[in-house]
A and B are shown apart, each in its own frame.
Chain A
Amino acid sequence: MNINQRKKRILILAGLFLFLTAGFAFLVSMKMTDQQRKLASMIDQANPDWTPGQKLKWAITKQFNIQVLDQEILMATPMAVEICTGNHGLGIKLQANEIMVAGQNPQIKISIACEALLAKTDYKFSIPLKTVLQLHKSKELKTDTLQFRTLNVFSDDEWPTEWTLSEIEVIGQNGFTINQFELQEAQQKIFTISIPEKL
């Protein structure tokens, strides 16, 4: 093969390489924007076409926060007043990571009455870990302010230590749910918390 032919071959290979790299980058960007496109109606808060309900849902989703601190799960809902207007409670669903029972992930649903939510002036609500861990043995629990229910959590199974916030539910006449993907989109993260088996 002479030099010219070699140069030609190199140019062709280089062109192919650039084309393929561009193609890959295009596919990756399509994948990354897929969720955004699906939730397009929630992306632009200033969208004048949004109903007041959509704007409220977006704002609640954006401002919600949950974390585990020492002996408690701390939940922050700055928009508690708006949540509780026409509604009577707030529910969160935690889904266990990396474990399935009969093909379904274990779940914990925690419901908080609006009276309890609004009683906190800073709208930060504490859920004691000690109470959550009792769910390893009890399917349902009730305290003065909280109701707990589990699905696929069994006393003879290991306690799942890693949980993801999979749903928020506003309970009442004007109720709605916020799923994990809407949370992810609004907050650009997945809420994952660790609940140890023993405190």
Chain B
Amino acid sequence: MINIQNGRFHSSSIFPLRILFLSCVCSLNFACKPGEALRIGGQDIFSFGAQESCHFNRNSYGVRISWKDVTPMTMIIHKSVPPEFDAAIIAAAQKWNSGKGKNLITVFRDDTWDSSPTSDKKNGIYWMLDWDEDTAKEQARTSTRYDLSRIIDSDIRINAKNFVYFHDLHTMNSSSEVHLQSLLVHEFGHALGLQHFIESGVMLPTLKGGVIRDEPSTYELKELGCEY
């Protein structure tokens, strides 16, 4: 990935110079392999051939969609979430941070914040007591908005109507209960831009009751490295 230092252009005379500089690097080093992208203003706006997906969604120009340089992504625990689950949510975020060795996700609670899940450039985790009957089997859902190639908003809804969640095996009352930390590790993966994996790992599309699966696999961390 070719990067411009501060990603911003200050005047029309500097912009073409940066393009020229980057093209110089490409031409001299023949570094423009398929998938190389030009990042300008924090956006990948030009790709030399479609990028490999690395299990990220791509826009119509074949460019992967992610937070780009705008990390850490800040997730706000909405007041609807029972406080006893805060530790599990924070631990879920740490699984990705420690796996990559960098601060990708920060989580904090804000009980004064009263927004509902919407495209407001604030990333929230919500405890939903109402859930569509058609999707009653869905444990959670992450909706992500993006602009060109950069994610600008991610909201996680947890289905508290149809599921009961547990912290650890000592607090599990029934094998149908869902391990919240495992669920959040999965949803944070989506919030970062990852799609489902068919290989093993936290990004498998289904999580059975009573199962603890909260460690991103080596492969998942490698794929995440395509963007972070």
Are chains A and B native binding partners rather than an unrelated pairing?
yes
Q: A residues touching B (Cβ–Cβ < 8 Å)?
A: 19-21, 23-24, 26-27, 30-31, 34, 97-105, 139, 154-158, 164, 180, 190
Contact B26 A24 (CB under 8 A): yes
Contact B27 A19 (CB under 8 A): yes
Contact A156 B146 (CB under 8 A): no
> Knowing A102-B141, A103-B190, A103-B193 touch, does A156 contact B157 (C-beta < 8 A)?
yes
B window 103-150: CB within 8 A of A: 117-119, 128, 130, 132, 134-135, 141-147
> Knowing A101-B141, A101-B142 touch, does A23 contact B49 (C-beta < 8 A)?
no
Q: Is B183 an interface residue (CB 8 A)?
A: no
Q: Is B95 an interface residue (CB 8 A)?
A: no
Task: Report, as a range, how many residues of chain B touch the other chain.
Answer: 35 or more
A26 vs B32: C-alpha distance when bound (angstroms): 12
CB distance from A28 to the nearest CB of B (A): 8
Contact A157 B26 (CB under 8 A): no
**Which residues does chain A contribute within 8 Å of B26, judged by CB atoms?**
23-24, 27
How many A-B residue pairs lie within 8 Å, measured between CB atoms?
A: 85
Contact A104 B195 (CB under 8 A): yes
A92 vs B117: C-alpha distance when bound (angstroms): 30
Q: Is B70 an interface residue (CB 8 A)?
A: no
Contact A157 B143 (CB under 8 A): yes
Specify the main secondary structure of chain A where it touches its partner. mixed
- B65's partner among A20, A24, A100, A164 (CB-CB below 8 A) is A100
Q: Is B167 an interface residue (CB 8 A)?
A: no
- B24's partner among A20, A26, A97, A102 (CB-CB below 8 A) is A20
A97 vs B48: C-alpha distance when bound (angstroms): 22
Contact B143 A20 (CB under 8 A): no
**Which residues does chain A contribute within 8 Å of B19, judged by CB atoms?**
24
Contact A154 B20 (CB under 8 A): no
A157 vs B117: C-alpha distance when bound (angstroms): 8
Q: Is B198 an interface residue (CB 8 A)?
A: no
21 A-B pairs with C-beta separation under 8 A: A20-B24, A20-B27, A23-B26, A23-B28, A24-B23, A24-B27, A26-B27, A27-B27, A27-B48, A34-B49, A97-B60, A98-B145, A98-B147, A101-B142, A102-B190, A102-B195, A103-B190, A139-B134, A154-B141, A158-B118, A158-B119
**Which residues does chain B contribute within 8 Å of A190, judged by CB atoms?**
60
> Knowing A158-B119, A190-B60 touch, does A102 contact B27 (C-beta < 8 A)?
no
Q: Is B100 an interface residue (CB 8 A)?
A: no
Contact A27 B20 (CB under 8 A): no
A102 vs B48: C-alpha distance when bound (angstroms): 27
Closest chain B residue, CB of each to CB of A105: B57
> Knowing A20-B28, A34-B49 touch, does A103 contact B134 (C-beta < 8 A)?
no
> Knowing A98-B146, A104-B57, A158-B118 touch, does A31 contact B134 (C-beta < 8 A)?
no
Q: Is B196 an interface residue (CB 8 A)?
A: yes
Contact B57 A100 (CB under 8 A): yes
